[in-house]
Structure 1
Amino acid sequence: MVCDDQQCLPPTEVEFDFNVIGVSKDNGVVTEKVNKEEKAPKTAEKEENEVKILAKADDVQEKEEKPSEVKVEEAEKIVIEDSVGKADDHIVSGSDTPKEEIEDVQEEDNSLWAIFVAGFLGGLAAIFMPCIFPMLPLTVSYFTKQASKGSGVGKALIYALSIIVIYVVLGLIVTVIFGAAALNALSTNGIFNLVFFLLLVVFAASFFGAFEITLPTSWSNKLDSKADRGGMIGIFFMAATLAIVSFSCTGPIIGALLVQAANMGELMGPAVGMFGFSFALAIPFALFAMFPSWMQALPKSGGWLNSVKVVLGFLELALALKFLSNVDLAYHWEWFDREVFLVLWIVIFGMMGLYLIGKIKFAHDSALNYLSFPRLTLAVVTFSFALYLVPGLWGAPLTAVAAFLPPQHTQDFDLYTATLNPGAHTSKADDSEPRKYGEIFHAPLGLKPFYDYEEGLNYAKKVGKPVMIDFTGHACVNCRKMEATVWPEPDVYSKIANDYVLIQLYVDDKTDLAEEDQFYSKYSKKDIETIGGKWSDFQASVYNANSQPFYVLLSPDEELLAKPIGAIYDADKYAAFLNSGLEKYKERK
């Protein structure tokens, strides 16, 4: 599940085949070669398209003076235009509303900006690592001792630019190796999420001093010898030497950043993240070369540099749990419920606070004789955050971090939901009402949703209420944020619980469909074998949308009552959306 601040996108798997039309050199006869055998039976529509291709190729051949120069681009265009035309003509099932009126409501994509900011913050943190901070005055003094100030500043800028180039190239290499499709697939793949979890735990252990992640010493020695050449090439190798020597400190930060970029699924995410990281890392080398007097304001190196590493280790350990939670939710292992997640976070941040005040020490820590003001302030913030999480063990929504926690409905002991609006959902359906797939889901906020579209629709016809479809996902952070911050508002909750029949369709659920329910999608051209695949295909084919959350209001006869929307964190606006659907339903009724 790939998310930014407004929406989440599921990964897309595409199976494809294509026809190659060639001209034999001996007699000029047009022949067709099929690259891949189609999984689905050939339909009349496909046969018609193939006839069009061959016919078009024949027409083009007749116009050419030489048969060997047949142009097939025009023939290929027929199929593309035919496919696009069908998509544009698609309408909502049971409704006369053209699909172009059901626009996929998406905010401007800010994913790359989020990755850049994360990289920039990682670069700032890397500056204060014991592998880099002590090198600042040494490197800057090299440039300030040049023949002229202008020459020194120029070389420092080249040095900074070299740092940026080295790390951006690293990001591009990751992009080329994996590609966009693979990066998207990583987001909900169980094996990769487990690998990410273990990888971040290893990085955290490295920061705690269990071992150091280093590159071969011969690499740094070789680069250092090339740096003695001088000139622009020598400066570039100086920057490369810095990257190699400091890898034991920057490696875990870079690794966590690349994991985050891969999990967001953006093609250029790794390169953009590395640009943000290297840009922040290069800034002090350039600025201090321009203004050497600023160096006097820097704190002296000491044991506090190692403390920065340890604090980052605690943060990486906390971040690792999110990847483990994603796998647990998608595959319904039910090992990692909300209270288990919260207990681990409370312990991690509690221990981080104890470390900051000197009550916990690692083997490579120096003695802490007194608490500095920055250290005391960070300790207060850390302890406060740990205490803020404690009420969540009894079901408090913890709205500030709700998007990162497992959903509320995984909580076994939940006093908050029990007192939110007792009995509000009882008018919608009694407990004896069947719920397809209900045994593997737990509803948020004590609601009683349906998990199958046809089942929910039939019940809506029975009770005469409109339908609210919630296209959601187990790993959708924006869905959890909506359920934790907007749905509990009284005006919103009462409408969802009492006035609508709620149908929640999880697009990333990995549970296999019964064999008789599996099918081949004419829309996506792939086999649908899981519950998530079924609802993802349904959302894309009917509503031309693939982001979550996505809310659709329908009458029981499937007429659209309001323009579908995505995440809206303003409860009043969301309540107005629900009201508009109810008013439209009353008018039509």
Structure 2
Amino acid sequence: MVRSALPLAAFVLFVLSAPAGAQPDIGAKGNLPKEFAARASVSVEVVPAKAKRGETVLVKLTVAPRPEAHAWTYPAFPKDGEEQLSRNTLAFPPPGDLIFIGKLADPAVAWKEKPRDTGVGLDQYTESPVTWELKAVVSPKAAVGPKAVLLEGIRLQVCDARKCIPTDGRKLPPAEFTVEEGESTTINAADYAEATKAPLPAPKPPPSGADGTKPTTTAAHDKVAVRKNAKPTDAYAAEMKAFETTVVGAEPPPPPTLWAFVATAALWGLISLVTPCVFPMIPITVSIFLKQAHGSLGERLKLASVYCLTIITVLGLSAFTLLKFMAWLSTHPVTNVLLGALFFVLALSLFGMYDIGLPNALQKRLQAKQSKGGVIGTIFGALAFTVISFTCVAPFLGGFAGIAGSDSSFTVKEIAGGLAFATAFAAPFFVLALVPGLLKALPRSGGWLDSVKVVMGFLELAAALKFLRTAELRLLPSTEYFTFDLVLGGWVAISFACGLYLLNAYRLPHDEEQPNISVPRLIFALLFLGLSAYLAPALLKFDGKPQRPSGAVYAWVEAFLLPEDKPAEAGAEEAWGTDLQEALDASKKSGQPVFVDFTGKTCSNCRLNEQNVFPQAAVRDEFRKFEKVKLFTDEVPEPFYAADPGGRARTAEGRANGDFQLAVFKTNQLPLYAVLAPQQDGKVKVFGVYDEGKINDAGKFAAFLKESREKAKR
């Protein structure tokens, strides 16, 4: 029997600690990571170091790999273009004291070549110092005095035989120069004219050293991702706040039926009972009631009521807390790291590696209180049981809260759902205390519960990988450790190992000898082995493209594990922006309404719709008749920017989008789809809000797009 107070303590810990998860200040000047500095030196020089307003200067960025570290770095525009994944990224910072102009290119150095990791093609690199030159004009509005310009938009990496270390422009030494007083006689007229155009978009790194760039996408359906210049955080938030008063006609999608939600909560509570931490305790606990009641029905009723109400209070509060804050908790990186670690610890416990128990002092105190009997003893017994059972109950409670967290929510629903989950969980104790004869009908615990325990361990291990991947997606611009391929490979291995376990191919420490297996056990073993074989082809790549299994099961798995950002396809024609103002401006010119996709970087249902519904012909045809904009409510992905403004700015923009959604549509449901169009009076009118998060009928969604578009045209 696995006994656990630590899981509950860890759960409380992550709930309390998540809001305090402040990110470190990454804007410090020249704050190179130690591992990067050990492999290469970086210098930034402005030539000339003193210039007057309107003069042209060169910002020279030099990266010198250290010979003693046997390190190297890469070009920004390799000759193989998109085929070479290992590269540096150069993009001009936004206009400020310096206005960057011209074209970005690699210097003419002797780039070496080595075989690509994939075995197809060669990657360029250099072990010698390399200097990139960025041309800029001192802004006519720059104030006189010393200046320090951060090279935002630049991302470098340096490697050695062990690993590669990245860094971004905000950690590089700044471009320092001095603006002098007076008029200059050396102003380049062509440079000045280019710099003073209102405001130029930041150049994008070309794929092979030529002008221009291939568009970048963030999901399989995003044919073209429109890159944008980041606006100041305060300005963007104020812009979205102003939209709240101009948007009219918005109505939130109807919430799910309260009774259906309550029924779902109760079902999850009942499922939690058939777990190895809970099921064996049912007859033991009821027997204690019967013994203490001494045959009195009234006493049994009183003790059972106290016991069940204690469980309902503890579990109900836990469920309510998760339901209330799940939308925020599910995307917070600290929460996901702690959940990943917690589920990993629980999985090893369920495998029988160790037992997680209450501290001895607390265990003795609870036993002493419980042994006194009566109401007080019953309350402490219920508390002890709730803590002990949390190892198995937590995944079901979290799974239920995760489903609810994707829908719009209101306090009545949250309270009702939490109480329904806890009441269903506690109900059997009350019923069996009143009708003890039903105990004989319960199946005996034994080896089958050990098997359930191990299968749950495999499932919790799979969940741990998912949580850690979600955390890395929020912490890094792109995953480097818990990649989609790694987590999918983990799921394939876990499913295969679970199938072998159910076939008795190996045993774990707490298992009883079972020479034969039952038919249900065989069926479950085949299901897990079949799932492993079904998912495995997705790990294989031909010509750089994964072999995507067909069917709804893989579509669900792929969306749940949040696929990696993908490069644009040749001939792409559908453009998705991430700026509502730009979409509205485009709508005024084209006359097409705006389709708004409220989405999230870590939203599984969003990816599921994008994989299964958006590519369908009827939907794709309708999309061509809209200006399309994605409003990420957690964090705008880096590829949507010409120059990465940093994690804080991208998260702040997502927060502003989320506040706008909640203020206008009165819901934080993800995904949420709306159609709107600018009006002649300056207002923005909403012509339709889709009533589902996960799209279950592509035809219905296409009809919604057509109907909303026709309304906007009238």
1:75-474 map, 5 Å:
90-92=245-247, 99=248, 101-108=249-256, 113=262, 116-117=265-266, 119-121=268-270, 123-126=272-275, 129=276, 132-141=278-287, 143=289, 151=296, 153-171=297-315, 185-240=328-383, 242-243=385-386, 247=388, 250-256=389-395, 259=398, 275=419, 278-331=422-475, 332-335=477-480, 336-390=482-536, 393=539, 394-396=547-549, 398-400=551-553, 402=555, 405-406=558-559, 410-411=563-564, 425-426=572-573, 447-459=574-586, 465-474=592-601
Aligned AA (1:302): G
Q: TM-score when scaled to structure 1?
A: 0.63
1:563 paired with 2:563, answer no
Aligned AA (1:471): F
Deviation at 1:492, TM superposition (A): 1.4
User: Is residue 323–residue 401 contact of structure 2 (8 Å, CA) maintained in 1?
Assistant: no
Aligned AA (2:670): Q
Identify if the C-alpha distance between structure 1 residues 343 and 154 changes in structure 2 by more than 3 Å, giving closer, same or farther: farther
Query: What are the superposed Cα offsets for residues 437-485 of structure 1, whole Å, 9 maximum, x if unpaired?
Result: xxxxxxxxxx532233344455556666443221211222332232233
Aligned AA (1:478): N
Deviation at 1:509, TM superposition (A): 0.8
1:499 paired with 2:625, answer yes
SS in structure 1 at match of 2:576: coil
User: Is residue 289–residue 304 contact of structure 2 (8 Å, CA) maintained in 1?
Assistant: no
Task: Give the distance between the partners of 1:179 and 1:302, measured in 2 at CA.
Answer: 33
SS in structure 1 at match of 2:689: coil
User: Is residue 312–residue 426 contact of structure 2 (8 Å, CA) maintained in 1?
Assistant: no
SS in structure 2 at match of 1:563: strand
Over the matched positions of the two proteins, sequence identity in percent amounts to 32
Aligned AA (2:599): T
SS in structure 2 at match of 1:552: strand
Identify if the C-alpha distance between structure 1 residues 268 and 551 changes in structure 2 by more than 3 Å, giving closer, same or farther: closer
SS in structure 1 at match of 2:511: coil
Aligned AA (1:123): S
Identify if the C-alpha distance between structure 1 residues 170 and 355 changes in structure 2 by more than 3 Å, giving closer, same or farther: same
Identify if the C-alpha distance between structure 1 residues 87 and 134 changes in structure 2 by more than 3 Å, giving closer, same or farther: same
Task: Give the distance between the partners of 1:88 and 1:491, measured in 2 at CA.
Answer: 31
Task: Give the distance between the partners of 1:268 and 1:197, measured in 2 at CA.
Answer: 30
Identify if the C-alpha distance between structure 1 residues 365 and 583 changes in structure 2 by more than 3 Å, giving closer, same or farther: same
> Of residues 655, 679, 692 in structure 2, which corresponds to 1:533?
655
SS in structure 1 at match of 2:343: helix
Aligned AA (2:478): W
Query: What are the superposed Cα offsets for residues 258-299 of structure 1, whole Å, 9 maximum, x if unpaired?
Result: 655776667799987775565445444444444444444444
Corresponding residue for residue 613 of structure 2: 486
Aligned AA (1:213): I
SS in structure 1 at match of 2:392: helix
User: Is residue 267–residue 424 contact of structure 2 (8 Å, CA) maintained in 1?
Assistant: no
User: Is residue 227–residue 237 contact of structure 1 (8 Å, CA) maintained in 2?
Assistant: yes
Aligned AA (1:371): I
Task: Give the distance between the partners of 1:232 and 1:408, measured in 2 at CA.
Answer: 47
Identify if the C-alpha distance between structure 1 residues 287 and 380 changes in structure 2 by more than 3 Å, giving closer, same or farther: farther
Identify if the C-alpha distance between structure 1 residues 299 and 360 changes in structure 2 by more than 3 Å, giving closer, same or farther: same
Q: Greater CA deviation, 485-494 or 111-120?
A: 111-120
User: Is residue 270–residue 425 contact of structure 2 (8 Å, CA) maintained in 1?
Assistant: no
SS in structure 1 at match of 2:674: strand
1:549 paired with 2:671, answer yes
Deviation at 1:382, TM superposition (A): 2.6
Corresponding residue for residue 521 of structure 1: none
Task: Give the distance between the partners of 1:145 and 1:545, measured in 2 at CA.
Answer: 51
SS in structure 1 at match of 2:314: helix
Aligned length: 453
Task: Give the distance between the partners of 1:382 and 1:399, measured in 2 at CA.
Answer: 17
Task: Give the distance between the partners of 1:179 and 1:287, measured in 2 at CA.
Answer: 28
Deviation at 1:358, TM superposition (A): 1.0
User: Is residue 266–residue 424 contact of structure 2 (8 Å, CA) maintained in 1?
Assistant: no
User: Is residue 598–residue 671 contact of structure 2 (8 Å, CA) maintained in 1?
Assistant: yes
Deviation at 1:179, TM superposition (A): 9.8
Root-mean-square deviation (Å) = 4.6
Aligned AA (1:493): R
Identify if the C-alpha distance between structure 1 residues 134 and 258 changes in structure 2 by more than 3 Å, giving closer, same or farther: closer
User: Is residue 115–residue 269 contact of structure 1 (8 Å, CA) maintained in 2?
Assistant: no
Deviation at 1:398, TM superposition (A): 4.9
Identify if the C-alpha distance between structure 1 residues 278 and 544 changes in structure 2 by more than 3 Å, giving closer, same or farther: closer
User: Is residue 468–residue 553 contact of structure 1 (8 Å, CA) maintained in 2?
Assistant: yes
Which protein has the bigger helix share?
1
Identify if the C-alpha distance between structure 1 residues 274 and 309 changes in structure 2 by more than 3 Å, giving closer, same or farther: farther
Aligned AA (2:448): W
1:475 paired with 2:602, answer yes
User: Is residue 528–residue 534 contact of structure 1 (8 Å, CA) maintained in 2?
Assistant: no
Aligned AA (1:333): S
The runs of 5 or more residues in structure 2 that have no matched partner are 1-17, 21-240, 540-546
Q: TM-score when scaled to structure 2?
A: 0.53
Deviation at 1:158, TM superposition (A): 3.7
Deviation at 1:103, TM superposition (A): 1.1
SS in structure 1 at match of 2:526: helix
